[in-house]
């Protein structure tokens, strides 16, 4: 069945996730959806120094938004900030150096951010695909720590800030790769069996879809969404999937095309007319499971994921400095 899922996903990807898929879908976009002025609204974008995160931050800055860039590497982040300010003329760009794989650091940042800023829109874009099993300084498997636990902690820590604002939104950048994975709560840190970085990443991305659905049920006055950017030509794809990149490089989307739906979800009035908790691709909600694929989870597994992440989260909160 995994062979079937992988094959269907790849064929679907060749048709929909490449640049030609975007060009076809974009014929039906309404340009007015994103021709909005967001001056006075505050956006936080993780992983914002390159790729889809930087493209998203740039488009929001161009429309007047206050943008908080959350990045791990100070030097690269400062360069990116300078480029965004120069390109958009928007001076309201702020930089925060945070490692999203470090839960204590996230808690410390979030507590400080809540005291100093307002927040209308959180964009969880930071992610990683490490192809060999690697542990963080806290003993966490690095993909899980970044993609799942980091996303969970940052979002839950900032929910009280979002709850204060009108039209608050949370957008998480996932991947169509999650379609080949069924939620597995028995091995969150990939300790069993052969480690396959691509499949671990896909499992994390399935977890992000479940998180979004669960948050949407629990927090009715915030609009949650999760999306697939398509297959885009980003530094992360080049470094983490070199073979895929070499085969597909002439067909990949631009960073801007990959970011288009993130921007649409973050700023358009149309996005929030749709229910909270949906999975999007090219400005449209799409199914979270392939036809005939046995990737559906029982509700108790989804609840268990939330419980386990909350336990992890509190463990690191209680020992966080400051």
pLDDT tens-digit map of 64-78 = 999 999 999 999 999
Q: Is residue 132 part of a domain?
A: yes
- Percentage of the chain modeled with pLDDT above 90: 84
CA–CA separation, 60 and 160 (whole Å): 23
At residue 15, the pLDDT reads 78
- pLDDT single digits (tens) 194-241: 999 999 999 999 999 999 999 999 999 999 999 999 987 777 777 777
Question: Active-site residue among 17, 22, 152, 201?
Answer: 201
Which structural domain, as residue segments, surrounds residue 265? Answer: 3-315
CATH number of the domain within which 247 lies? 3.40.50.720
| pLDDT beyond 70 at 321 | no
At residue 291, the pLDDT reads 86
Q: Is residue 321 part of a domain?
A: no
- pLDDT single digits (tens) 229-249: 998 777 777 777 777 758 877
Q: Is residue 284 part of a domain?
A: yes
Grade residue 11 by pLDDT with cuts at 50, 70 and 90: low
CA–CA separation, 87 and 61 (whole Å): 9
What average pLDDT score do residues 180-205 get?
Answer: 95
At residue 322, the pLDDT reads 45
What's the predicted TM-score (pTM) here?
0.95
Strand order in the sheet with 121-124: 93-97, 66-71, 42-46, 121-124, 168-173, 222-227, 278-281, 284-285
Grade residue 124 by pLDDT with cuts at 50, 70 and 90: very high
Q: Is residue 320 part of a domain?
A: no
For 176, 271, 295, the CA distances from 287, given in Å and listed in that order, are 10, 16, 12
Q: Is the dihedral of CA 12, 28, 169, 125 positive or negative?
A: positive
More confident residue, 133 or 235: 133
Q: Is residue 322 part of a domain?
A: no
- pLDDT single digits (tens) 88-109: 999 999 999 999 999 999 999 9
Contact in structure between 49 and 71 (CB atoms under 8 Å): yes
Residue the block writes with tokens 């091995």: 187
CA–CA separation, 137 and 277 (whole Å): 33
Known active-site residue 201 = yes
At residue 8, the pLDDT reads 64
More confident residue, 16 or 275: 275
Residues with Cβ within 8 Å of 224's Cβ and at least 6 positions away in sequence, in order, are: 169, 170, 171, 172, 212, 215, 216, 276, 277
| pLDDT beyond 70 at 272 | yes
Domain count along the chain = 1
């Amino acid at each position: 069945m995994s062979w079937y899922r992988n094959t269907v996903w790849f064929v679907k990807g060749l048709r929909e996730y490449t640049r030609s898929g975007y060009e076809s879908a974009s014929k039906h976009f309404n340009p007015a959806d994103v021709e909005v002025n967001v001056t006075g609204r505050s956006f936080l974008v993780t992983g914002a120094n390159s790729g889809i995160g930087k493209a998203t931050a740039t488009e929001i800055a161009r429309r007047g938004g206050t943008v908080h860039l959350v990045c791990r590497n100070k030097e690269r982040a400062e360069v990116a900030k300078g480029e965004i300010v120069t390109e958009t003329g928007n001076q309201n760009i702020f930089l925060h150096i945070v490692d999203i794989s470090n839960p204590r650091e996230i808690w410390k940042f979030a507590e400080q951010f809540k005291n100093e800023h307002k927040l209308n829109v959180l964009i969880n874009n930071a992610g990683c695909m490490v192809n060999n099993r690697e542990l963080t300084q806290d003993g966490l498997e690095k993909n899980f720590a970044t993609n799942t636990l980091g996303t969970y902690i940052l979002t839950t820590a900032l929910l009280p800030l979002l709850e204060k604002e009108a039209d608050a939104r949370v957008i998480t950048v996932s991947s169509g790769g999650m379609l080949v994975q069924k939620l597995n709560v028995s091995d969150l840190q990939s300790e069993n069996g052969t480690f396959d970085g691509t499949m671990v990443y896909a499992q994390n991305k399935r977890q992000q879809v479940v998180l979004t659905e669960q948050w949407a049920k629990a927090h009715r006055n915030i609009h949650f969404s999760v999306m697939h950017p398509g297959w885009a030509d980003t530094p992360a794809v080049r470094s983490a999937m070199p073979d895929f990149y070499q085969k597909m490089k002439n067909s990949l989307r631009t960073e801007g095309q990959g970011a288009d739906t993130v921007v649409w979800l973050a700023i358009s009035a149309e996005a929030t007319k749709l229910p909270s908790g949906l999975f999007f691709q090219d400005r449209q909600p799409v199914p979270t499971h392939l036809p005939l694929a046995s990737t559906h989870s029982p509700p108790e597994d989804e609840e268990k994921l939330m419980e386990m992440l909350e336990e992890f989260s509190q463990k690191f909160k209680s020992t966080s400095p400051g």
